[in-house]
Structure 1
């Protein structure tokens, strides 16, 4: 037993410890938020692989797939185990909770912890599909956000950067001091230099997604009608210079081109398809690192309130479209669009007006900061209603046994 009271310690939006009970409750709440399936779920549902299954939209894809589509299969993520000095990462505890809920609901879901970019992981997953799931994969959801990637063929390591392309980018951004007091500052980010764009594409573009499909196709593990979706984001014109028109945007454009290439190949190979799913804004561990995004999301919440669509609802819609509950709703570039509520002209006009007005003095009037701060804390299992944070909690939660 290794029980202790978890006292929040943070550096800006990054918390150093996670709360196991809070993470467990969040996963339970997400599961409960998924509407019941429209038809009885088969005992042996479709086999799915979720790459990036422990956080953000990937976690939502995993839970929605289990609760709504009745999937079974494999989740892949990269999390740190608890030690004597530190808790495990929030994704470690969320994965343990997801595995237990899947077991309780009769879903067979295996979780693997390691480098999704490596061929070692790809071989491990392929072996599992072959031996445990009758050698056929129906769905693959790709949701990976990472700072670096090592190419298995060359051994070269690439690093992604958050930079504008062309000119330096100056924007308003939101920060909190140690007491949680908000401040609106202006920050400047220098432009991409050298091979920054190529490096970012190598990490966050479609290279690894395509490599996964190649690997599984070479092992003849793709079922007839196999479908794959990579999760993406476009966002507002207010953040476009650092996001969609920046290095990350170049990577997202590469991801979308990869989808078009894969779609043609899969159609010929197994009558399958590939799409990108463009999701709406949310508070995630990766998004809070992007200059201006925290401020934008806080203002967006100030405009929309509870009309903001949470990730679990968005990914429920993804599964409904992928599995045929509803026909796919694609834009002219073949992308599933789940961000129309965010990018509606009246919503963007209201957010833009607030963006122009916002200062440190007006931020509490224009943005829903209490919600935003609580969402950041909930990423780590903190500020979850009904959790007693004064009570000791067991931190040494084991990783779900993949042999069960």
Structure 2
């Protein structure tokens, strides 16, 4: 079977399951090369199938020896023309690797927003895991939320607020560099984005887990955020995404109060800019990454999701190099926000145009390789396997 990668605008189409298997293996090998570290042993990861969530799961399992429960909404294969999603295969190949080393790796491929999924996970913890959770990671990235009470479908938007933003972007499919105009969001769009991408569901998860008495003494929970810099503030920090991230901070305080009697803690982790499927569709963000990645790669500080997440848990959250700001947020994004890095990034972005955006002058090649890796393409160490659709259909998550 041949696997083909295509683009529709900046959206990746197609998946290479064997490439996904190799990419999971590569990330596992990276963590093992760093050695083991002391960390949590029973972990629930909500949004576990790709990017931040998958990297977190791999670091905690193969670095700290954690048993993990992953929740994600993915689609499996149906035919040679419909092979499902990369996250589907990431879940499977992670599970195979973890179980081969004697670790628990339970996958729930369900809607994380639903009450039923929360109850299914709680039942599993009580009846099968039979141990309490000491870390809950909320890493859900979804543009749509089905309200668990009303069934209403709510859509988020990536827009600015109270201002029209104009800036450079790239159409990856057409290989075109162009000027994008981003119109401001309506009040309803802002509210809907907070509903989908804010902290409400995180709080609902923690309330359900606490009420069910499945959280260990001293249990921690983290939620990944992104603040960015002045270079992307108009469309990110000051936009609808920024409003959603601010809501997560409000909910973190409520979760802290909820966990007081078990000495638990909620932490907002302000992560750095890394390549995710969302990175290509956030307005203007690909060009920001092209500038930033080139500068940080040249400085020796550029990180892929697995490098970043492993540093967060190994060195910061469970290590001896934590960096918190005045609001109690963990700040592994300090490398990105270093004034010299930002100054160099800004200078480079001003030089990027239609003739050079995909040249070695920029980090375009770095960005695209990492983006292709998300779907199992252009993966280091990849070797073709003779596999059929029947083989893929037989895989169990």
TM-score by length of 1: 0.92
1:128-167 matches, cutoff 5 A = 128-167=124-163
1:262 to partner: Cα distance: 1.2
Q: 2:305 aligns with which of 285, 295, 311?
A: 311
CA RMSD of aligned residues (A): 1.8
Report SS of the residue matched to 2:201: helix
Q: CA deviation at 1:176?
A: 2.8
Q: Which residue of 1 aligns with 2:12?
A: 15
Partner residue in 2 for 1:186:
179
Output the CA distance in 2 between the equivalents of 1:369 and 1:336.
29
1:108 equivalenced with 2:115 (yes/no):
no
Comparing 294-303 with 21-30, which one deviates more in the overlay? 294-303
Q: 1:235 aligns with which of 224, 228, 231?
A: 228
Give the CA deviation at 1:322. 7.2
> Which residue in the other structure is 2:356 paired with?
362
Instruction: Select 2:272's aligned residue among 250, 265, 280.
Output: 280
Query: In the superposition, relative to structure 1, how do residues 28 and 241 fare at CA in structure 2: closer, same or farther (>3 Å)?
Result: same
Compared CA separation, residues 320 and 359, structure 1 to 2 (3 A): same
Tell me by how many angstroms 1:361 deviates: 2.0
Matched, 1:289 2:286: no
Deviation track 1:318-341 (CA, whole Å, cap 9, x = no partner) reads: 323676332643111111111111
For residues 310 and 293 of structure 1, the distance between their equivalents in structure 2, rounded to whole angstroms, comes to: 16
- Contact 1:162-1:246 at 8 Å conserved across structures: yes
Output the CA distance in 2 between the equivalents of 1:302 and 1:110.
38
1:108 offset after TM fit, Å?
Answer: 0.8
Structure 1 segments of 4+ aligned residues over 4 angstroms from their partners = none
In 2: Cα distance, 1:154 partner to 1:387 partner: 45
Verify the 8 A CA contact 2:225 2:270 in the aligned structure 1. Answer: yes
- 307, 320, 331: which is aligned to 2:325? 331
How far did 1:190 drift? 1.0
Deviates more, 1:247-256 or 1:148-157: 148-157
Task: Rate the CA distance shift 1:318–1:398 in 2: closer, same or farther, 3 A.
Answer: farther
Say whether the 8 Å CA contact 2:156–2:193 is kept in structure 1.
yes
In the alignment, what sits opposite 2:378?
A: 383
Gaps of 5+ in 1: none
Task: Find the aligned partners of 1:317 and 1:87 in 2 and give their Cα distance.
Answer: 33
Residue 249 of structure 2 corresponds to 256
Alpha-carbon separation, structure 1, partners of 2:94 and 2:211: 30
After TM superposition, the structure 1 = structure 2 runs for residues 56-135 of structure 1, keeping only pairs within 5 Å, are 56-84=51-79, 85-135=81-131
- Structure 2 distance, partners of 1:75, 1:33, is 21
C-alpha distance after superposition, 1:339-371 (max 9, x if no partner): 111110000000101112221123225312222
What is the Cα deviation at residue 258 of structure 1? 1.2
| Per-residue Cα deviation, 1:65-106 (whole angstroms, up to 9, x for no partner) | 101121113100111110113112111111111001101221
Q: 2:207, 2:258 within 8 Å by CA — same for their partners in 1?
A: no
What is the distance in 2 between the residues matched to 1:49 and 1:321?
Answer: 20
- Larger mean CA deviation between 362-371 and 317-326 belongs to 317-326
Please tell me whether residue 372 in structure 1 is matched to residue 367 in structure 2. yes
Measured in 1, the distance between the counterparts of 2:317 and 2:271 equals 18
Q: Residue 134 and residue 279 in structure 1: after superposition, are their counterparts in 2 closer, same or farther (change >3 A)?
A: same
